[in-house]
Amino acid sequence: MSNSSLDGDPSAGLATGYGAPGPAGGSVLYMTLVSLVAALGGMLFGYDTAVISGAIDFMEAHFDLSAVGKGWAASCTLLGCGLGAGLAGGLSDRWGRRKVLLLAAVLFVVSAVGTALPRNLTQFVSFRIICGLAVGAASITSPMYIAEMSPARIRGRMVSVNQFAIVSGMLLVYFVNYYIARHGEAAWNEATGWRWMFGSEAAPAVLLLALLFLVPETPRFLVAKDRAQEALGILRRVNGAAAAEQEMREITETIGREGATLSELVKPGVRVVLALGVALAVLQQVTGINVFLYYAPDLFQKLGAGSDAALLQTVAVGAVNLLFTIVAIWTVDRLGRKPLMMLGSLGMGICLVAIGLAAWLQKTQVWVLAFILGYIASFALAVGPVTWVILSEIFPTRIRGRGMAVATVCLWTANFVVSQTFPMMDHNAWLLERFHHGFPFFLYAGFCVVTIVVVWRWVPETKGQSLEAIENYWLRR
């Protein structure tokens, strides 16, 4: 398998011209507006996963949670995420990408109301799992929808818009959490404030539900369902007439060679893609990102910040996340997927080692904040957005939903393991006495090294290539 670009040697490369801009007539504005609607699913993904960071300490006091209970309250939604991703893959191949996003929007609304009004932890967990179903469905369907709608020349940038939406949702809810927490004293926050944090999601969820009625289904799904004329009309609007005809021929030819069953995932060539997708999905999580997203206020309080200051510093995490995601959007189609992934993983690893040393030596100086923000910047530049770009590109069209579902279920499973085990590792001294405080961060740094090796050795460069050309590459292998 090639360890450089998707082209390999010049004679064995993809068909030429796939990455070239199409003729005049396509509407980038239309493409952008459609992508932004789909990316609202990503925004709710980020909003939902980050809202717990501001609420968890108040819930810990309200429900008198142990370390295990605190981890369960923070991570229970991830079980729903895995199930939602698993179901959404098959449903999106059967019903369409747009209908699955509509279903996710309904679940977002239900979960927002339910998590704001629980009488006990069991009710809260039940509605957080419903929330997880929505997040899991959106996590694969939003980037898949955008990838299938986008021309090859800007696909990486457009799919990265979904990651931008995810971190925008995180930053938005950090501000919301901070505002709500400042509204009352500690007793009010423990009894009521955290409920408003979860309920605030209802507004963007209703907006997503309304706007999804205004966007079309993807051309590749329509062709797979023998609705070629509808698909051609959408392609003309996105790419212009001449480019649309060419892309329509490529889509039709590629789908004609594909099977539509899960057994396709384990066929020679495709099973290699599946293994790579699963590896990248798991590595995105086990490098520790959600420790900082879910437990940031707790970490900052251990650095000596008060409750309000910890929430405000969490806003800084969201701002850095957003800023460097913007950088990723403008570089992913210029520098390519591989250089960004390797550079970002290296930066994450260095920062994690520094944080781990500070925890081990029990040094809580303010400079540790700089390494936390450096870690977030490195993730946002590469491993965060680019992993989703690659996952949305590498699977064949007819089984893209199922392939992304398998990879994303593994991603959410890894997320659950990290989120559940971090409080346990952080609060218990069974890991080599004083060393246990830094152990999680050293562990995550080790996985950053693994990520660099996997990307360098097995991930091909896919920038500027059509989805059909990428598929043909894997089939040739």
Residue 160's alpha-carbon distances to 84, 134, 333, in angstroms, are 22, 20, 10
Instruction: Give domain limits for the chain.
Output: 27-215+259-476
Q: What is the pLDDT of residues 44-85, one digit of tens each?
A: 988 988 898 888 889 988 888 887 788 788 888 888 888 898
Q: What is the pTM of this model?
A: 0.71
pLDDT, position 418: 86
Q: What is the pLDDT of residues 292-341, one digit of tens each?
A: 877 766 777 665 555 566 666 778 888 898 899 888 888 888 888 899 99
Q: Which residue has the tokens 């967990």?
A: 125
Q: How far apart are alpha carbons 359 and 451 in whole angstroms?
A: 24
Residue 89, classed as helix, strand or coil, is helix
Q: How far apart are alpha carbons 158 and 393 in whole angstroms?
A: 12
Do 146 and 31 form a contact (C-beta atoms < 8 A)? no
Could you tell me the CATH superfamily of domain 27-215+259-476?
A: MFS general substrate transporter like domains (1.20.1250.20)
Q: Which two tokens stand for residue 318?
A: 């969201």
The maximal CA–CA distance of the chain, rounded, in angstroms, is 69
| Ranges of the chain whose pLDDT falls below 70 | 1-26, 256-265, 268-269, 296-297, 301-312, 362-366, 397-398, 426-437, 477
Q: What is the CA radius of gyration of the chain?
A: 22
pLDDT, position 259: 52
* Residue 465 backbone dihedrals phi, psi, to 5 degrees: -105, 145
